[in-house]
Structure 1
């Protein structure tokens, strides 16, 4: 049982690190889409001190880590603890399920990228874009925005990536359940 607890701990640490690195890389890509998404919104939303935002890509990386490490914790706990009391599922099975989560999150982010370019085109909108209220400080910051369409594209990619992570977790869990069920039938 001690060995399983050590594997569980290492698996959870791995999912946290992988998720955090995903967030850092993801935000470097979305920063390229819209720097204003970070400088006028995310830095304020995450209460990032100015010394963490110089250069701004550093701040985007910090926001990426802060926005995703906790998802890795959730994924690690769920995929790591499911059916831990028996020996049917191995650590390798759990990492395969984690790979599924990562692939689906990346795929959804890419889909979000293409959808955002179809959805947010300046030629399609003639009215002013109104954002929901995020609070006075952020609302005032958004008034300085030069390219709201790029901002919306970056936000769309972020939302799709979170959706991909959630769907990936469900599919990864199903993948483990299927492996568990098929191996259980072989044992009986």
Structure 2
């Protein structure tokens, strides 16, 4: 009788974890809760992100974003309005992030492992996206050492911006944040696979 190799055994456990019906409702509930948390986390991330970008370029908000989102009440502090802009601009990203990254968590053996992996994956997503946004801001500072207007013909730049370089840098940061959010999905998939592999022998 032939002996199964460890690699085949691992693959068998992985495939079985995908199709077995163990506690399907508990897993589905964990997935739904994660989806809600992902939306809230995306909004909170946007609010924090825009506190950073407001510090870099207040004009990005006072001459652009406040008008775009109709947040023009001068009685509301500008930083609070910047946080509102961030939340409104990013909460919806939690839906595709939550759906596409959360579905990978069904590979875990039990609802408890799934919940733990989802919680960690949310931190991974937020951390990766924030790091990518900061990298975009840094890239923006490098790219704008010398500003060539022809490179920004497709950017919305309102007239009368006093500090154009910092305005453009925040634009780079915002674009990088959206790109980082999209790239965080395969990063989350990789995290779930690594988490499953590390805990594959744990009951």
TM-score range, shorter chain: 0.7 to 0.9
* Structure 2 unmatched runs, 5+: 1-23
1:113 aligns with 2:141: no
**SS in structure 2 opposite 1:50?**
coil
CA RMSD of aligned residues (A): 2.8
Q: Report the alpha carbon displacement of residue 22 of structure 1 after superposing the two structures with TM.
A: 1.0
Select the structure with the greater relative contact order (CA < 8 A; seq sep ≥ 6). 1
Gaps of 5+ in 1: none
Q: TM-score, normalised by structure 2?
A: 0.74
The Cα shift of 1:45 comes to 2.4
Q: Does the Cα contact within 8 Å between 2:128 and 2:184 map onto a contact in 1? A: yes
The structure with the larger Rg is: 2
Q: TM-score, normalised by structure 1?
A: 0.79
Deviation for aligned residue 1:29: 0.8
Count residues with an aligned counterpart.
177
Pick aligned residue for 2:37 from 14, 17, 20: 14
Deviation at 1:10, TM superposition (A): 1.6
Distance 2:29 2:195 in 1: 22
Q: What is the CA–CA distance in structure 2 between the aligned matches of 1:156 and 1:125, rounded to whole Å?
A: 13
Aligned: 1:143 with 2:159 = yes
CA separation of 1:177/1:126 partners in 2, compared to 1, >3 Å: closer, same or farther? closer
Match of 1:76 among 98, 103, 106: 98
